[in-house]
Amino acid sequence: MHFGPRPLATCIGALLAHATPPFKKGHRLTEADCALLANAGHDFVIVASLEPGDLHEDAAATRLAAALAGPGLRAEAAFTGRVNLFAEQAGLVVIDRTALEALNHHDERLTLATLPPYAAVRAGDMVATIKIIPFAVPGALVETALALLPPQALRLAPFRPLRPLLLDTLLPGTKPSLAEKAQRVTADRLSALGSPLPPVRALPHRQDAVAAALKHAVAEGFDPILVMGASAVADRADVIPAGIEQAGGTVLQVGMPVDPGNLLILGQIGDTRVLGLPGCARSPKLNGFDWVLQRFAAGIAVTAADVRAMGIGGLLMEIPSRPQPRLPEPEPRKALRLGALLLAAGQSRRMGPDSKLLLPFPEKPMVVVTAERLRAAGVFAPILVVTGSRQVEVRAALDASEAGPFVFVDTPDYAEGLSRSLIAGIQHALTLPLDGLLIALADMPLVGAEDLRALAAAFDPTAGRALIVPTVNGQRGNPSLWARDLWPEMLALTGDQGAKRLMDRFTGQLFELACDNPGLLADLDTPEAYRIALASLRLSSSDTK
């Protein structure tokens, strides 16, 4: 593959290396595209062109995905050199770690990221992603990588129903509520794995009683047999492990290097699996018992060596009853309330006699298209629309759209500059119970709903991300998302100053979100910008037909 800057006239058929409005990164340039870029003032662009024997990034990713998508996995269509693999049903991710690490070590241009081995997933969860770094790679490289992959190097072991039994040992002082909680939580665990609710049998916390109950359960065909002890195991000679041995079984492992879950017992009577449950199994929180039970449900054998190997990564969470030297669990992050401020009051002086916001794009007025993108994002409510110039027509266009409802804020002094529109919107927003406000320009209809959702997902003032700004190839764009604490600074703006003028004051709280969409840079405030954007929109529409 050849990569680098080339005269625009020689770029027909090449792939655009960086987003160049109105085209996205990776766009294959046509003669018409090159003419469009030339009219926009470009002489050179950075491109990638394939050589004989090269595979396009999407083709290479698709080849690898076909080899890696083992049983229970499906691959989505390739896009920008990436293929994601998803679980077709609930189960555990099973990985040939040696083979997959060899793939990642083979060549930096081929990458594979997966969930951890034995991760539990639901139907539809992403399991792995394959990404080809450059725009193309030699076909021979892909073939040598495929040769490294044995069959089923990555697969899903689906959960299958078990036939479990819960034995609950009791002491004279055991509270009934404690036993009831253990039974309820165990039933919920099994139900989540697709297994029926287990029968429950109570018995005294004595070795002989445990042994007798185990013999009876084995004869009835239950597997696995879960034993919830009234007191924690302290030794291999304690009640539950001794009861397993008295029943003719073998105690494979007492204890596990997973916290919580240290006091789990793994045993076997013939082919029947027996688990002595740790005390933390009474809690629905993740613990070592979950890891073993999930493997049982997925049909994966668990040996003493498997249990001992769980220690790396086995520090799962804090235990409230033993908080030190551990740290308390963090408070769950509350849902943030986000609104949007759509600035639609400008006079469109640079557009000539037309109001840019009312121009068709390509059929609906531009302001309506931008507002529809805000609504489609699904994370901003309310949407405040600041109106001024052509107020009646702008409001009528929005009222007739399906993107409402809107809260309209009029700006009588809009002619004094952008700052007056922004201040009017901020003053209204300050009366609302909002944590953040997206400040959007109404002449940016190329911003996508997915871009807006990405901004909202990155917003977290408690983590130092109180101001989110999209960037394309390092250049800041619009819209931007501002935390409430930052809004008062905007009230001091004057003239044609906008919120961008304040960004450098908040560098410690500013997060630049890298994006691919060049539409985040394109405000359509001139006839030429409007014409180029319309042309690119028609081109992209024809490409998808």
Per-residue pLDDT, averaged over 297-324, amounts to 82
In this prediction, residue 423 carries a pLDDT of 95
Q: What is the mean pLDDT of the chain?
A: 91
In this prediction, residue 333 carries a pLDDT of 57
**Which DSSP string do the residues of 487-536 spell out, in sequence order?**
GGGGGG--TT--GGGGGGGGGGGEEEEE---GGGS----SHHHHHHHHHH
CATH classification of 165-311, choosing from 3.40.190.10, 3.90.1150.10, 3.40.50.2300, 3.40.980.10? 3.40.980.10
Cis peptide leading into 325, omega within 30 of 0? yes
Name the CATH superfamily for 2-49.
Answer: Molybdopterin biosynthesis moea protein, domain 2 (3.90.105.10)
- The first and second tokens of residue 111, run together, are 């990458």
Burial 390-417 (b: 16+ CB within 10 A, else e): bbeebbebbeebebeebbbbebeebeeb
Considering the domain delimited by 338-539, tell me its CATH architecture. Answer: Alpha-Beta Complex (3.90)
Task: Work out the pLDDT band at 463, boundaries 50, 70, 90.
Answer: confident
pLDDT digits (tens, 9 = 90+) for 47-102: 999 999 999 999 999 999 999 999 999 999 998 899 999 999 999 999 999 999 99
Q: Is 185 exposed, middle or buried (0-12, 13-18, 19+ CB in 10 A)?
A: middle
In this prediction, residue 265 carries a pLDDT of 97
The answer to whether residue 15 scores a pLDDT higher than 70 is: yes
In this prediction, residue 326 carries a pLDDT of 45
Of 52-61, 177-186, 258-267, which range is least confident? 177-186
Contacts of 334 (CB under 8 A, 6+ apart): none
In this prediction, residue 346 carries a pLDDT of 86
The answer to whether residue 125 scores a pLDDT higher than 50 is: yes
The answer to whether residue 303 scores a pLDDT higher than 60 is: yes
pTM: 0.60
**Which DSSP string do the residues of 51-101 spell out, in sequence order?**
PTTEEEHHHHHHHHHHHH--TTEEEPPPBTTEEEEEESSSEEEEE-HHHHH
Other Cβ atoms closer than 10 A to 42 = 13
Task: Work out the pLDDT band at 327, boundaries 50, 70, 90.
Answer: very low
Which of residues 351 and 297 earns the better pLDDT score?
Answer: 297
In this prediction, residue 404 carries a pLDDT of 84
In this prediction, residue 317 carries a pLDDT of 65
β-bridge partners, 112: 130
Per-residue pLDDT, averaged over 150-154, amounts to 95
In this prediction, residue 331 carries a pLDDT of 54
- The first and second tokens of residue 33, run together, are 């595209």
Task: Work out the pLDDT band at 402, boundaries 50, 70, 90.
Answer: confident
Of 87-96, 146-155, 386-395, 532-541, which range is least confident? 532-541
What percentage of the chain carries pLDDT values higher than 90?
A: 76
Is the domain covering 56-158 a CATH 3.40.50.720 domain? no
Task: Work out the pLDDT band at 25, boundaries 50, 70, 90.
Answer: confident
The answer to whether residue 332 scores a pLDDT higher than 70 is: no
Domain boundaries, the chain: 2-49, 56-158, 165-311, 338-539
